Amino acid sequence: EANQEYISKNRFSRVTRETVMSERANRHSADSIVREKLMILLIIENPFLISRYLEELGLINFSNIELSKVCSRIVEYIVLNGDKSLENLDIKSYLIEEGFQQQIVDIYNPSLLNTYQPLLKNSEQEVERSFLEFLDLQNKFAENKDIDQAAVDLEENMNEENFEKFLKLKKESLNKN
């Protein structure tokens, strides 16, 4: 009976939007970081992706700031070495020399490597297809984050500017789908 009383008292309690968003972010955060590490790993191990998707790499919205810095440094490195063959560039060594040792250790985590070994050993076509799928997921995740933030802004301050921002992002996301 005490349990019944507990249920009925809490049946009408509301969960705040911020709590829901933080729980959603936490739930997706680990997936997002693994995906981001895999994207970095794929471009380090498959430099052909860099030349084909240099602009897209520069536009990726990472949830992990350290991985964002690594990606930016890779893009800078490739732009500086533009005429040299990408196959001969040792991106991993360059990143270590630039002070990204810990990030390289995290990216080359044995558990991650073992889990995704088949992906890493695939043909160039399959690697590219996987990379594009990760890129697409990352972009969708970033869009949802923007819409969620716009919804929170609108709830906190219901003004015309926040409403227009939310409406614009929502329309854009619906048009893409």
Comparing 160 with 149, the larger pLDDT belongs to 160
How does pLDDT run across 27-77, given as a tens digit for each residue? 445 568 899 999 999 999 998 898 899 889 888 888 889 999 999 999 888
Structure tokens at 98: 């630039």
Q: What is the pTM of this model?
A: 0.65
Report whether 44 contacts 112 (CB < 8 A): no
In this prediction, residue 173 has a pLDDT band, given cuts at 50, 70 and 90, of: low
Q: Is the Cα dihedral 20, 21, 24, 30 positive or negative? A: negative
How does pLDDT run across 67-111, given as a tens digit for each residue? 999 999 998 888 887 756 666 678 999 999 999 999 999 999 999
Enumerate the H helices of the chain as residue ranges.
2-10, 17-45, 48-52, 54-59, 65-80, 91-97, 101-107, 110-115, 117-120, 124-156, 160-176
Instruction: Choose among 148, 141, 64: nearest CA to 166.
Output: 148
